[in-house]
């Protein structure tokens, strides 16, 4: 015969075990919900039409395939410490675009790179792609490539848009209104802009 003490001890252990399992499940529910939402979003992105680029994998090993158009038309900022992979991340969509050139007509890219590493990698990819193409396709891609080197002493234009114009009073723009209430620019400002941009 089971005594009252033995019955309470057996039921108490069972109750403790079930309580612990319930609390663990309760703690895992937000994680499971987030994983489910992530999986659904990744499947939706992968199902979209057009070229895709694989940005990596989730911790569960699911590929992160994003439509290339979503990356190209969006504005973004990538930050991180030295060696964290910013350049390699930026190269993913660039490499996919270059791989599809010159046939890809609705997308292009630009590289502004203070250090030069991303620029050099993009230039290398373009050179490799040009070497793979022949004839008209190669010529078409060459016509689409524009390189502007802001560090060159031979500037694209004769003025620096960030510098004050020669012979301009340092306080000129500070002291002048943008225009009157009707939106007409101030006369003197008009003259300076006309002089600056030529006849």
Q: Which residue has the higher pLDDT, 9 or 113?
A: 113
Residues 109-113: contacts with CB under 8 Å, at least 24 apart: 109/72
Residue 5 covered by a domain: no
The whole-model pTM stands at 0.60
The whole-number pLDDT of residue 177 equals 52
Statement to judge: residues 147 and 83 lie in one domain: yes
131-184: per-residue pLDDT in tens?
999 999 999 999 888 887 666 666 555 555 566 666 667 666 555 555 444 444
Statement to judge: residues 118 and 181 lie in one domain: no
Statement to judge: residues 183 and 142 lie in one domain: no
> Residue 53: which region, alpha, beta or left (left: phi > 0; alpha: psi -120 to 50)?
beta
Taking the C-alpha atoms of residue 173 and residue 189, their distance in angstroms, rounded to an integer, is: 8
9-39: per-residue pLDDT in tens?
677 778 788 888 888 887 888 888 888 999 9
Statement to judge: residues 125 and 193 lie in one domain: no
Statement to judge: residues 151 and 184 lie in one domain: no
Residue 158 DSSP one-character state: S
Taking the C-alpha atoms of residue 17 and residue 21, their distance in angstroms, rounded to an integer, is: 6
The whole-number pLDDT of residue 181 equals 47
Residue for token digits 């694989």?
54
- What residues contact 177, with CB distance under 8 A and at least 6 apart? 186
User: What sections of 53-102 are H helices per DSSP?
Assistant: 68-73, 86-100
Q: How many domains is the chain partitioned into structurally?
A: 2
pLDDT range class, residue 3, cuts 50, 70, 90: low
Q: Which domain covers residue 165, as residue numbers?
A: 158-199
Statement to judge: residues 162 and 192 lie in one domain: yes
Q: Tokens standing for 93?
A: 């969509």
The whole-number pLDDT of residue 7 equals 67
Residue 139 covered by a domain: yes
Residue 133 covered by a domain: yes
């Amino acid at each position: 015969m089971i005594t009252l003490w033995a019955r309470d001890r057996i039921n108490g252990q069972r109750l403790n075990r079930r309580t612990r399992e319930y609390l663990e499940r309760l703690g895992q529910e937000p994680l499971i919900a987030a994983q489910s939402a992530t999986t659904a979003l990744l499947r939706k992105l992968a199902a979209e039409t057009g070229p895709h680029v694989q940005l990596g994998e989730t911790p569960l090993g699911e590929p992160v395939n994003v439509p290339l158009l979503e990356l190209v038309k969006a504005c973004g900022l990538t930050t991180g410490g030295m060696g964290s992979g910013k350049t390699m991340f930026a190269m993913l969509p660039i490499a996919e675009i270059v791989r599809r050139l010159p046939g890809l007509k609705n997308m292009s890219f630009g590289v502004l790179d203070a250090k030069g590493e991303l620029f050099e990698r993009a230039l290398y990819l373009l050179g490799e792609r040009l070497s793979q193409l022949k004839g008209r396709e190669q010529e078409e891609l060459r016509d689409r490539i524009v390189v502007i080197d802001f560090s060159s002493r031979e500037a694209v234009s004769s003025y620096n848009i960030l510098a004050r114009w020669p012979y301009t009073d340092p306080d000129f723009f500070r002291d002048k209104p943008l225009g009157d209430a009707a939106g007409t620019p101030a006369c003197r400002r008009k003259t300076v802009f006309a002089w600056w941009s030529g006849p």
